[in-house]
Amino acid sequence: MSYDTIIIGAGPAGLAAGLYAARGALKVLIIEKGGIGGQIATSWDIENYPGSPPNSTGPSLTERMREQCEEFGVEFSTRTYQSFSITLNGFAIETDSGSLETQTLIVATGAEPKMIGCKGERELRGMGVSYCATCDANFFKGLKVAVLGGGDTALEESLYLTKYAKEVVIIHRRDELRGAKILQQRIKDNEKISLILDSVVEEIKGNGLVEGIVVKNVKTGETSVVPVDGVFVFVGQKPNMEPFVGSLERDARDYLITDEDMRTNISGIFAAGDVRRKSLRQVVTATADGAIAAVNVIKFIEELK
């Protein structure tokens, strides 16, 4: 079975690429190792995707994107991408469930949360240390949690956590938050949220379950133990590009480099969404990338004829 294009990843970038490629009459397969939706599937409130209805969630938005793809004939397969090799007709793709053939490839593998790297983080992951408020907030009803980070994700997820936790303390390494001003205002207005600025977490303590964190003030050097029942880590992301090391060009932070038509350094391979180097990682820019990649895949295939 040979495809015109195989898209790796079923987040907003991959789903938008699938929709545009299928509407361009290509034979399209989207492969995905986990569920549909990518990182946005863990978002509880999408306020800034133009036209999304009030209270729309990541899963509801991406489920509708998947349905649209299927309406236009996109195939889906749950499997893990492993490698590609160049063939006379395009690419042979190796996956954990066998080989596939395709003329072109769109890499839309997204990004994933970074770990903070402190003592206790790995050991207590899943036992009070979490990277997804939507998934785990429910476990912290009436309890106190810490949120690490000062970006949009940390601020949005802190607000979400207040629906469950009795107290949320945000720990940020500088004296100023990075996240959007509107979120900063909401944080300030929320009585359940407090801030510890100029501080980093040196250790997460617990015996089977999180019991507290060791916080160090980076200006004074003082450390203190803050008792918490949970720690939510939102300190940024890293691109899912490991399978392409050695083949696709990356920037210093490991994001894949494309031109504005989403072409990578290898003819016939395109990249879209959070995995590529760009200035704004949002659903709206991911879907735009996907559309641009698909349109240029269509052009690429036309030019081969």
- Active-site positions read 132, 135-136
Backbone angles phi, psi at 80, to 5 degrees: -105, 125
Nearer to ligand NAP among residue 30 and residue 171 (C-beta): 171
Nearer to ligand NAP among residue 4 and residue 274 (C-beta): 274
Closest distance between ligand NAP and the C-beta of residue 176, in Å?
8
Taking alpha carbons only, the member of 197, 203, 207 closest to residue 231 is 203
Residue 116 as a binder of ligand NAP (CB under 6 A): the answer is yes
DSSP bridge partners of 199: 217
- SS3 state of residue 259: coil
Q: CA 20 to CA 53: how far, in whole Å?
A: 23
Closest distance between ligand NAP and the C-beta of residue 116, in Å?
5
Taking alpha carbons only, the member of 22, 6, 13, 10 closest to residue 256 is 13
Which residue in the set 178, 186, 277, 278 belongs to the binding site for ligand NAP (CB under 6 A)? 178
Residue 165 as a binder of ligand NAP (CB under 6 A): the answer is no
For every residue of 172-185, DSSP letters joined together read -SSSS--S-HHHHH
What is the C-alpha radius of gyration for the chain, rounded to an integer number of angstroms? 21
Please, are residues 200 and 215 in contact by the beta-carbon 8 Å criterion?
Answer: yes
Closest distance between ligand NAP and the C-beta of residue 242, in Å?
19
- Cβ count near 193 (within 10 Å): 20
Which residue in the set 90, 150, 206, 273 belongs to the binding site for ligand NAP (CB under 6 A)? 150
Taking alpha carbons only, the member of 152, 141, 166, 168 closest to residue 232 is 168
Closest distance between ligand NAP and the C-beta of residue 144, in Å?
20
Q: What's CA 159's distance to the chain center, in Å?
A: 19
Which residue in the set 104, 237, 240, 287 belongs to the binding site for ligand NAP (CB under 6 A)? 237
Which residue in the set 93, 235, 248, 288 belongs to the binding site for ligand NAP (CB under 6 A)? 235
Q: For ligand NAP, what does the binding mask look like between residues 256 and 285, x meaning CB under 6 A?
A: -------------------------xx---
Residue 153 as a binder of ligand NAP (CB under 6 A): the answer is yes
Residue 173 as a binder of ligand NAP (CB under 6 A): the answer is yes
Backbone angles phi, psi at 62, to 5 degrees: -75, -25
Chain residues 22-51 in contact with ligand NAP, contact rule CB under 6 A: 48
Closest distance between ligand NAP and the C-beta of residue 111, in Å?
8
Residue 151 as a binder of ligand NAP (CB under 6 A): the answer is yes
Q: CA 25 to CA 261: how far, in whole Å?
A: 19
Please, are residues 8 and 81 in contact by the beta-carbon 8 Å criterion?
Answer: yes
Closest distance between ligand NAP and the C-beta of residue 148, in Å?
6
In the complex, the residues that contact ligand NAP under the rule CB under 6 A are 48, 116, 148-154, 156, 173-174, 178, 200, 234-237, 281-282
